[in-house]
Amino acid sequence: MKRVLLLNPPAPDLVVRDYYCSKTTRSNYIFEPVDLLMQSGRLARHFDVAVLDAVVDRLDEETCRRRILALRPDAILFLTGAVSWNYDFPFLRDVKERLGGTTTFIGSGDVFLDDTERWLEENPFIDAAILDFVNDDATLFLLGRKDALETIVFRAGGVIRAARRPRARGAAFECPLPRHDLFVNPRYHFSFARSRPFATVLTDFGCPYSCSFCVMSGLGFKFRGVDNVMEELRRLKAAGVREIFFIDQTWGVRRERNLALCRRMTEERLDLGWTTFTRVDVFTPEILAAWRRAGCHTLILGVESASADTLQAYRKGYHRDKIAHGLRMVREAGIRTVGTFILGLPEDTRETVEATIRLACALPLDFASFSVAVPRFGTPLREQARAEGLIGDTRVMDQSGATVAMATRVLTREEVRRLTRKAVLRFYLRPSYLIRRALSTRSWWELITQAREGLALAARNIGFR
């Protein structure tokens, strides 16, 4: 049986490369890379599968290289991203040469969503790039079944070819259970987890909404059956997992299916705590109550900007009044809130960014995440930024704010970076916030975890790291 290595390559810092959103982590979180996780069950039906996550294990290039060479894989499915491809590719190219040049290299990451053929032309060591990590393309490619490929760009007979079937819009799919046992690692850490161990679970892929700054709008949308998800949750529960990060981009968007899943989780008394992403226009008080009964303790919601014009221009689909009302509903349901904000969109000025910071501090939020606007591969925002001359052929990007890829019409990249740092410090260093945060923790473990996260966040934004 051929051996396939699922590889998260080494990096000089904690980077997240999965689900087409590569970035440096702002604090200490690092979870199972979902691209590799979702492929693990599919590949394991036909191949001997191994996992090497050099980021979570903090491996340097030399140590990681030695481990790969010792495994002698026949194929490597690797992660890369806009945040790291410039050092990923030289490392991967060297590994392929040391393996004799015959190992098949398949990539997954946000960089491949735009100009995919160009990436393969410029990097001959890459044999294929998958553009949908929940289907069978990687397996079929390795089995030589090129007639059945769906969403992949690959080499065949010295020629770069592409299979690009239309993206699914609201279709159901089933998947072999991900091999969580291959990813067991105590170093995986999630900022909002209230207990451990925790695991990452994906119940749907993509997003049906059309926010133009977000890569998800171009991925289509498909969802797993309730029975398929429940089987995975039962196995995780049996393995001792106590906490889940549902990495769905819009939890609850298929209402009846989602409520059926929550009923099953409640009826079977899984007693799993969980966090997920959703939108303020998806839920009602009754739906929030169902989520709470099923174990939800934290919801991550997109606020993005204080500007109504900005929300409309980027097709967010709701007004800031809806945001405040939705956050109040979540708090009344006894669920913690995380607000996400984007700073540095082309229309942003110092005044609009300051207004967004004030809004973040005024809303009933338990946590906030401030990201810089990134002209992501495959998004309308990238096309807009190019048309306005705000970027050139920018290919290295990091939404964390450590670096800024795009100026606004009036703010420089450095001004955007400084305002992002200011937003983080102003939100998290309010005395009233710190007291409320400390009093809301439920255990010494959670208090210590929150303190550690806060110190890491402050250090990165004050400039210690």
pLDDT band at 449 (very low <50, low <70, confident <90, very high): low
pLDDT beyond 60 at 307: yes
**Lookup: tokens for 96:** 């392929």
Q: Where are the domains of the chain?
A: 3-166, 190-438
**Lookup: tokens for 290:** 């169902």
Instruction: Determine which helix (DSSP H) or strand (DSSP E) holds 69, and give its type and residue range.
Output: helix 61-71
The residue with greater pLDDT, 374 or 320, is 374
pLDDT at 318: 81
**pLDDT (tens digit, 9 = 90+) per residue, 164-174?**
999 988 999 99
**pLDDT (tens digit, 9 = 90+) per residue, 372-407?**
998 888 889 999 999 999 887 778 888 777 788 899
**Lookup: tokens for 167:** 């993206």
Q: Does the structural domain 3-166 have CATH classification 3.40.50.280?
A: yes
- Residue linked to tokens 């945040």: 83
Q: Does the structural domain 190-438 have CATH classification 3.20.20.70?
A: yes
pLDDT at 460: 59
Parallel/antiparallel/unpaired status of strands 221-224 and 336-343: unpaired
**pLDDT (tens digit, 9 = 90+) per residue, 76-104?**
999 999 999 999 999 999 999 999 999 99
pLDDT at 455: 60
Beta-bridge mates of residue 7: 52, 78
pLDDT beyond 90 at 44: yes
What angle do helix axes 413-428 and 431-440 make, rounded to 10 degrees?
Answer: 60
The region of weakest confidence among 75-79, 118-122, 393-397, 444-448 is: 444-448
| Distance, CA of 435 to CA of 432 (rounded, Å) | 5
Cα separations (Å) of 353 from 117, 213, 317, 338, 373? Answer: 37, 17, 20, 19, 12
pLDDT beyond 80 at 71: yes
pLDDT at 453: 64
Beta-bridge mates of residue 107: 78, 129
Vertex 333: Cα angle to 330 and 338 (nearest 5): 30
**pLDDT (tens digit, 9 = 90+) per residue, 139-158?**
999 999 999 999 999 999 88
Q: Residues of 243-263 as b/e, b for ≥16 C-beta within 10 angstroms?
A: bbbbbbbbbbbbeebbbebbe
Q: Is 418 helix (H, G, I), strand (E, B) or coil?
A: helix
